[in-house]
Amino acid sequence: MTLAEAIKSIEFKYPPQATIPGDYAGIICGKANKSVNKILFAVDFSMAVVLESIRGGFDLLITFHLPYITKSLFDIRGLDARVSRAVENDLAIYSLSSNVEFGRSGFSYFMMEEFGASFEAFSMTSCFEPMYKVVVFVPLDAFEKFRKAILDIGAGYIGNYSHASFSAKGEGTFKPLPGSEPYIGEVGKFERVEEMRFETIVPQHLLDEVLEAINLYHPYEEPAVDVYSLNVNSKTAGFGVIGMLPYPMKLTNLIAECRQKFFGASIRVIESEKNFVQRVLFWADNVEKIIDSVLNSGADVVIAGEIPHSCAVALADNQIAAIEIGIFAAKINLMNYILKILDDAMHASEKNVELKVSESQREYLRHMA
């Protein structure tokens, strides 16, 4: 598997466009054609994890929380030390960010499921890329193979449904001109052919790949292709998951459950005057990124990865209780969900790639007695 193929399997589930403005998701270093056989996963892009990757012979390091890097990786001090060490040892680095919080495949949604809550809504809805309708006319004998190839790329995703398309039988006409090499018919002869009209929906980040695949899998020299820009937003989901607990709980009981579910969590709490809480906003990242939507969410309590002081004041003023579990604890305890998604993708593509979670990563902030 190449680095480009590995990244494609990740971005199929977590497109880099699905980030909160200001966040970065994508390659930090590495060549697209680099061979990848071993992938290490870590919450943070730290020097310790970089060195572990190098010692372990890993080809790719994927992190879920990108700490400070200079706006340009080059500045007057030179290349970032972590990146420099990776480049020297041919280690590719790929960072996910708030795109792993987006929608029903995100950490925050998995967090909600951990608590047995029922989904209500997303706190901050977001539509991250344009959509297109692609229409192609395909001869009958090539249709099934062609349709499968296009839909397997990722075209035809609508909500929680994949491989969505429409087809209808009709008649196509053409006359091959001199210099052509027709798949059907003869040069200079008018032809009538039974064809299938195939149409499906394609997100912008897959459009070029789908058009390339059409030329690859379509038997005609010159496939008839129509591409329509749709006046709709794609993947309207969002960030921050609002869920209802099965029954009202005392805040102290919910805190105890957080300690149980998120091993190693360093809990901080904002109390409210409510005796019981049930409507919970789950957010595994820094709550500052979605604070306006949180304050208007109607939540009784927020369970978040990180709560800055200014946000804590705003939550308290709005009588919203909060439980901060720490970003590291939130993401390390949910990482297995992501590994399973990617492991399934690797098996589906019949690629033999080793996936492992870092053993050197740790929580850097600790409460001292």
pLDDT for residue 40: 95
- In this structure, what CATH number is given to the domain that contains residue 32? 3.40.1390.30
Read off the DSSP letter of residue 35: B
pLDDT for residue 369: 55
Contact yes or no for 35/1 (Cβ under 8 A): yes
Taking residues 135-156, what's their average pLDDT? 93
What's the mean per-residue pLDDT of the chain?
88
Chain center to CA of 108: 12
Contact yes or no for 168/197 (Cβ under 8 A): yes
Q: For residue 282, give the amino acid letter.
A: F
Question: Tens digit of pLDDT for each residue in 64-94?
Answer: 876 555 545 544 445 578 888 998 999 999 9
What are the Cα distances from residue 122, in Å, to 18, 63, 109, 266, 299?
14, 25, 9, 26, 11
Residues 327 and 192 in one domain: no
Read off the DSSP letter of residue 141: G
Confidence band, pLDDT 50/70/90 cuts, at residue 255: very high
Residues 60 and 107 in one domain: no
Contact yes or no for 116/123 (Cβ under 8 A): no
φ/ψ of 25, rounded to 5, equals -135, 130
Q: Of the ranges 126-135, 174-183, 278-287, 294-303, which one carries the lowest mean pLDDT score? A: 126-135
Residues 227 and 268 in one domain: no
| 3-state DSSP of 318-339 | CCCEEEECCHHHHHHCCHHHHH
Tokens 């292709």 belong to 225
Confidence band, pLDDT 50/70/90 cuts, at residue 334: confident
Written as one string, the DSSP assignment of 134-187 is: EEEEEEGGGHHHHHHHHHHHTTT-BTTB-S-EEEEEEEEEE-PPTT---SSS-T
Confidence band, pLDDT 50/70/90 cuts, at residue 127: low
Residues 169 and 197 in one domain: yes
How far is 247 from 279, CA to CA, in rounded Å? 10
Contacts of 266 (CB under 8 A, 6+ apart): 325, 326, 329, 363, 365, 366, 367
Residues 242 and 122 in one domain: yes
Q: Which of 184, 212, 233 is the last residue of a domain?
A: 233
Confidence band, pLDDT 50/70/90 cuts, at residue 351: confident
pLDDT for residue 200: 97
Q: Evaluate whether residue 178 is within a structural domain.
A: yes
Residues 328 and 208 in one domain: no
> Could you give the count of Cα atoms lying within 13 Å of 124 in the half-sphere of its Cβ?
22
Residues 250 and 320 in one domain: yes
Q: Which of 165, 200, 233 is the last residue of a domain?
A: 233
* Of residues 213, 185, 182, 189, the one with CA closest to residue 200: 213
Strand partners, 277: 249
Confidence band, pLDDT 50/70/90 cuts, at residue 103: confident
- In this structure, what CATH number is given to the domain that contains residue 134? 3.30.70.120
What are the Cα distances from residue 256, in Å, to 89, 250, 267, 320, 365?
44, 10, 10, 18, 20
**Highest-confidence range of 104-108, 209-213, 279-283, by mean pLDDT?**
279-283
Q: Evaluate whether residue 29 is within a structural domain.
A: yes
pLDDT for residue 67: 56
165 lies in which domain range? 130-233
How far is 369 from 364, CA to CA, in rounded Å? 16
Q: Evaluate whether residue 117 is within a structural domain.
A: yes
Confidence band, pLDDT 50/70/90 cuts, at residue 55: very high
Residues 118 and 259 in one domain: yes
State the total domains in the chain.
Answer: 3
- Per-residue pLDDT for 292 more than 70? yes
- Per-residue pLDDT for 176 more than 70? yes
Residues 203 and 267 in one domain: no
Q: Which of 179, 212, 233 is the last residue of a domain?
A: 233
How far is 233 from 181, CA to CA, in rounded Å? 40
How far is 196 from 139, CA to CA, in rounded Å? 6
Q: Evaluate whether residue 366 is within a structural domain.
A: no
How far is 72 from 18, CA to CA, in rounded Å? 22
Question: Tens digit of pLDDT for each residue in 107-118?
Answer: 899 999 999 999
Q: Evaluate whether residue 24 is within a structural domain.
A: yes
Residues 172 and 210 in one domain: yes
Tokens 């270093």 belong to 29
Q: Evaluate whether residue 368 is within a structural domain.
A: no
Chain center to CA of 263: 25
Contact yes or no for 331/264 (Cβ under 8 A): no
The helix (run of H) or strand (run of E) holding residue 279 is strand 277-286
Residues 291 and 152 in one domain: no
pLDDT for residue 76: 41
Q: Of the ranges 28-32, 65-69, 213-217, 317-321, which one carries the lowest mean pLDDT score? A: 65-69
Q: Of the ranges 161-170, 228-237, 246-255, 307-316, which one carries the lowest mean pLDDT score? A: 228-237
Taking residues 272-290, what's their average pLDDT? 94
* Of residues 318, 222, 322, the one with CA closest to residue 269: 322
How far is 23 from 66, CA to CA, in rounded Å? 9
Taking residues 315-330, what's their average pLDDT? 94
Q: Of the ranges 10-24, 41-55, 319-333, which one carries the lowest mean pLDDT score? A: 10-24
* Of residues 141, 10, 5, the one with CA closest to residue 63: 10
What are the Cα distances from residue 268, in Å, to 114, 174, 271, 293, 362?
20, 71, 10, 21, 19
Contact yes or no for 179/104 (Cβ under 8 A): no
pLDDT for residue 359: 93
Q: Of the ranges 148-157, 272-281, 321-330, 347-356, which one carries the lowest mean pLDDT score? A: 347-356
How far is 124 from 183, CA to CA, in rounded Å? 51
Six token digits for residue 222: 């010159």
Q: Evaluate whether residue 306 is within a structural domain.
A: yes
CB contact burial 302-335 (16+ within 10 A = b; e otherwise): bbbbbbeeebbebbeeeebbbbbbbbbbbbbbbb
**Interaxial angle between packed helices 335-348 and 3-13, expressed in degrees from 0 to 180 and rounded to the nearest 10:** 120
